[in-house]
Amino acid sequence: MKIGFVLFPDVTQLDFTGPLQVLHRLPGAETHILAKTMEPVPSDCGLSLVPTGTFAEAPALDMIVVPGGFGVIGAIRDEETMTFVREAGAKAEYVTSVCTGAFVLGAAGHLKGRKATTHWAYTSLLPLVGAAYTPGRCVRDGNVFTGGGVTAGIDFAFTIAAETSGQPVAEAIQLAVEYDPAPPFDTGQPSRASEKLLAAMDRRYQKPVADMRAALEA
């Protein structure tokens, strides 16, 4: 299986590296880390990511994976990136995203009439790309898989691993990477956060959400 990960400046690295760490272990997997050029791509945390190929040279992909991050707005506005996602996704057996990468898929036309999820702060924007928000760490609608925010990309990847290679393979990978989450705090979802914390985070995301809305409407 040829799996292509789409990179763009200011991508959230864990949206990319979390699924990569799981999916590259699938039997027969061939991973391609793709960007416009072969230059290192800056992530949103100071870590630069090195592509293994370019959009123009990419092979036909069985699966396309689009991570999210604050750079999604720039990706949506970049015709070369969007053309690649539109065309590669149309031919792929599996069309997938993590976090706000859903809006790249959506802007490319892959989420029309689909159930989907994304980062909790941006779920209200999914109808702008024709999708129906559905709660979940990973939501499947046909051949489209969307993951929630950032760390949900790991659960998303295990869901895909079980779908493509069977549950025993997914369970073996889970043990190999010792994926046994036990978070020290129970605030990973808005429904479990205090009103004070949620209000503070809503203020933090107010401008990014408004900027995303403007980009999608444009």
Residues carrying an active site annotation: 99
**What φ, ψ does residue 70 adopt, rounded to 5°?**
-65, -15
Residues 8, 9, 13, 16, Cα dihedral to 10°: 0
In angstroms, the CA 57 to CA 161 distance is 26
In angstroms, the CA 2 to CA 29 distance is 6
HEC-encoded secondary structure of the chain: CEEEEECCCCECHHHHHHHHHHHCCCCCCEEEEEECCCCCEEECCCCEECCCEECCCCCCCCEEEECCCCCHHHHHCCHHHHHHHHHHHHHCCEEEEECCHHHHHHHCCCCCCCEECCCHHHHHHHHHHCCEECCCCEEEECCEEEECCCCHHHHHHHHHHHHHHCHHHHHHHHHHCCCCCCCCCCCCCHHHCCHHHHHHHHHHHHHHHHHHHHHHHC
